[in-house]
Structure 1
Amino acid sequence: MSDVSTLLGEQVSVKLSGDVIFEGILTDLGQDILVLFNGIKYYYIPWMHIHMVYQTEELKEKIKNPNEPSITQEMETISYRKILQNAKGIFSEIYVTGNITFHGYVMNVLSDYLVFYSPVFHTMYISLSHLKWITPYNHKVVPYNLNDDTLSVHPSTTPLHRSFESQIKKEIGKLVIFDGGTDPMKIGRLNKVDNNQLELCVASGENVYLKLAHIKSVHLP
């Protein structure tokens, strides 16, 4: 950590899982998260998904220092959980898997997952261990240019459990969509949740079995 801290204020490249590379100014860091400004917005990236932080001799583009504060400005020390708590109510983009990102609002932060409300997907449960990054939008950004009536947030009234597994068990017997629905084998009726394993009945009527530890997001159609 002390070595990385020497790069504070410098333009760096950050390599994530899946060979995803971000470039920006390293504006802050903590034991489990770092903050990168790419010239337009801040990215809050958990250390668990970072493979490498480095400076390159030849910069593709010189990034100007931010002229707006990040949500860490008033924190004495930053952490993954503190940043998620501070992001509540701010329209944000999050990334967990594949080639899609989710846009919406952090509603609650529980022990190992967060509740996220998306104007498109509505209430979602996102595993904290799979959240690769979050970037809050400028307060002036209106989601999808929707008016207040259309945008009104209607979060689920389902009681929240502390753990991701316990919360998913509440959805047994319902149609669920895992990981954004890009894989048809992750869409179906949830039959069972037991011993870190899920039983899902897909459209064909076939039962498939998924490991809970690999589930990144959950929402109901």
Structure 2
Amino acid sequence: MFSLKSRHPLLDQYVELDVSGASLPIKGKLIDLGQDILVVHNGRQFLYIPFVHLQQMRLIVNEYQDIEVPEPHFEQQNDLISYRKVLMNAKGMFSELYITGHQSIHGYLTSVMNDFFVFYSPVYHSVMVSLKHLKYLIPYNPNVTPYTLTPEQFPLKPSPITLARTFDQQMNKLLGEFVILDLGENPNKIGVLKSIDQSMIELSNADGKSIYLHFDHVKTIHLP
């Protein structure tokens, strides 16, 4: 079922994880880990968590009864899992992403590029997500759809945007467009993308004022 690997001391144990940006620890059974990602089952769902956002992992004692872990929703290969393989396997599956703030987004992963991927949501439509800012991915059962929408109500559409290979190239393709950064959690991250110069992004906000942000801190970008 799982990757062939040398055993981690906490593999198949119940653990508590502190993950960057998450307000509460994640708890569950550590069922797999690879070179840059680990997998926890919380009794209901599989959570795929990139190592880069793992701050601490601790053993939980006498808090959980043993739970039966089902087969993963997509087949794992016999070699070590990896972040990129997980994303490729999750393409076209209804999933939940946690990226920023208190918001999760639900939808379908449609494309995986060099350092970002595209996620199609009924709420946000095509969202481009920096690989380094995804906190965790939860794939849902194959018979589950977002908000119980039918395929007719929520058809899986390709991105209307021509995709670049890298996130910075993609941003440059959107110069002059009205964009929403980081899911619009901050009003100053909504506006016209004016320029990108030496990792500084200039955005014109609702008041027409220029707001400057560092490229490395942009987690997502999408068009309204």
Same fold (TM over 0.5): yes
Residue 61 of structure 2 is matched in structure 1 by 57
- Aligned residue runs from structure 1 range 1-221, under 5 A: 5-18=8-21, 20-59=24-63, 61-71=64-74, 73-221=76-224
Retained in 1: the 8 A contact 2:73–2:141? no
Retained in 2: the 8 A contact 1:25–1:65? no
Q: Compute the displacement of 1:63 (Å).
A: 5.0
Return the letter of the residue paired with 1:26.
L
Q: Compute the displacement of 1:70 (Å).
A: 4.5
Q: Compute the displacement of 1:65 (Å).
A: 2.3
Structure 1 SS opposite 2:174: coil
Percent of residue pairs bearing the same amino acid type: 42
Q: Compute the displacement of 1:218 (Å).
A: 0.6
Q: Which runs of 4+ in 1 moved over 6 A?
A: none
User: 2: CA distance between counterparts of 1:120 and 1:58?
Assistant: 40
Q: CA RMSD in A?
A: 1.7
Q: Compute the displacement of 1:105 (Å).
A: 1.0
User: 1: CA distance between counterparts of 2:101 and 2:158?
Assistant: 25
Q: Compute the displacement of 1:34 (Å).
A: 0.2
CA distance change for structure 1 residues 125 and 58 in 2, over 3 Å: closer, same or farther? same
Return the letter of the residue paired with 1:90.
M
Q: Compute the displacement of 1:72 (Å).
A: 5.2
Question: Deviations for 1:80-133, whole angstroms, at most 9, x for unmatched residues?
Answer: 000000000000000110010111111111111111111111111000010000
Q: Mind listing any 5+ residue stretches in structure 1 that lack a counterpart? A: none
Q: Compute the displacement of 1:134 (Å).
A: 0.3
More helix by share: 1
